[in-house]
Amino acid sequence: MVHSKLALLPLFVILTISVEVEGAKSSYGVYNSGKNSVKLFVFGDSYVDTGNYLNSTSYKPPNGITFPGYPAGRFGNGRILTDYLASFLKTETPIPYALKNSSNLQNGMNFAFGGTGVFQTKVDGPNLTVQIDSLEQLIKQNVYSKSDVESSIVLVNTCGNDYVTFLLKDKNLVGIAKYIKSVVDEFSVNLRRIHNLGVKKIIVSLLEPIGCYPAISVASSYHDCVDRLNEISRDHNKIVLQNVEDLNKKSGKPVFTTLDLYNSFISTIKDMQKSRQENSTLMNPLEPCCVPVKGEYECGKVDENGKKEYTLCKKPEHSFFWDIVHPTQNGWYSIFKKLEPSLYQIIGKNF
């Protein structure tokens, strides 16, 4: 999960490889204020980071224009995966670790940091291992009790930036199979660490189709995803699924479950492409709303004179992608609706 997925790395350089709807205001539009004992702990990258990358464009306009109405640390115009999962759990979005001095710790905590992965990436931020270290330290400090952790739900969404880092180094994909195995092996080590802290429900996001990023699909004028790169996601996910099965066998319980971002992304994009065939005024789902006007690009970046280095579409609520890698609130809402049935199976209908 990648523009901070490499948070603020200019992902369009990958192209040198040779090759809000009204629904968003419904059940997931407003945080449920009801009391709930479950705490949500979040680890990963910009797809789930709600404010840890303090010195990034996630805190600059136009990010946050749909929700909460101003830049608040999310890479997008509004709610992201973390927000929708928290609302599903009938709790508020957990506070970012960077703001941990707040007294509002009862909903859990978000350790995710845009641009990071399981290994070191181009973004100088805490990778998954360091993020887990932070929770471990809070437990040792009795900020969260054993009971808090055991009754919590953990979301882990990462690895996308690891592949972006690889692609920037090796555009011919030489050694990609070996690299995928190393990423998933390290990922699995970290998942076991989280379980060893006492967590009994760990939701693991499968990797999204990286060949569908606008940073990639621009090569086809946003007409098609690049399947050669989507194959990386599929191969990654295949090994993750096997490892999750093995981890559950060893634990004797279904501690680890997966969230299929890959197929929910693909399905949503296809649905929107079909709708666009019937109504040409709708926006191409592979085309970003926030578009670069020149090379080095971040949505929200301005030049030394304060001039915007991006253009913005008229209706972000009709877009799937916000920028060259992150979905819009509308995109995340559509994705989450496809994930919802599996979440009921994972968590139970009592939520």
The domain spanning residue 184 has which CATH number?
Answer: 3.40.50
- ∠184-263-40 over CA atoms, to 5°? 65
What percentage of the chain's residues is helix, strand, coil (to nearest 5)?
A: 40, 10, 50
Residues linked to residue 311 through DSSP beta bridges, in sequence order: 291
CA–CA separation, 83 and 229 (whole Å): 28
Question: What pLDDT is recorded for position 26?
Answer: 35
**94 in Cβ contact with 81 (< 8 Å):** no
Average pLDDT of adjacent 10-residue blocks, the chain of 351 residues = 49 42 37 62 98 96 97 98 96 96 91 98 96 98 96 97 94 94 98 98 98 95 96 98 98 96 98 91 94 80 91 94 97 97 76 45
Question: Cβ neighbours of residue 12 under 8 Å, at least 6 residues apart?
Answer: 215, 218, 292, 295, 297, 324
Token pair recorded at residue 139: 């437990």
Q: Rounded to two decimals, what is the model's pTM?
A: 0.91
- CA 124 to mean position of chain CA atoms: 18
Residues shown for the chain: 351
Burial of 241 (0-12, 13-18, 19+ CB in 10 A): middle
CA dihedral over 230, 232, 238, 242, signed as positive or negative: negative
Residue 348 included in any domain: no
Cα–Cα dist 263/329, whole Å: 18
Look at residue 279 in the predicted model and tell me its pLDDT: 86
Domain contains 163: yes
pLDDT the model gives residue 292: 83
> What confidence score (pLDDT) does residue 30 get?
36
Report the SS3 class of residue 109: strand
Q: Is residue 131 part of a domain?
A: yes
Q: From CA 89, how far away is CA 39, in angstroms rounded?
A: 9
CA 292 vs. chain centroid, Å, equals 21
Q: What pLDDT, on a 0 to 100 scale, did the predictor assign at position 7?
A: 44
Angle of the 227-251 helix axis to the 160-169 helix axis, nearest 10: 140
- Domain membership of residue 350 (yes or no) is no
Q: Counting Cβ atoms within 10 Å, is residue 301 exposed (0-12), middle (13-18) or buried (19+)?
A: middle
Please name the residue that has the structure tokens 């592949």: 163
Q: Return d(Cα 229, Cα 61) in angstroms, integer.
A: 31
Q: Which residues contact 128 (CB under 8 A, 6 or more apart)?
A: 43, 44, 116, 117, 118, 156, 158, 187, 190
What total number of domains does the chain contain? 1
d(CA 254, CA 256): 6
In-domain check, residue 345: no
Q: Which of 191, 158, 31, 43 is nearest to 110 (CA)?
A: 43
Q: Is residue 5 in a domain? A: no
Closest to 325 measured CA to CA, from 278, 273, 261: 261
Catalytic residues: 46, 323, 326
pLDDT of 24 reads 36
Task: Name the DSSP class of 25.
Answer: G
Domain membership flag for residue 233: yes
Which residue carries 């009790």 as its tokens? 145
Please check whether residue 351 lies inside any domain of the structure: no
Domain membership of residue 331 as a residue range: 11-340
Q: Give the three-state DSSP class for 121.
A: coil
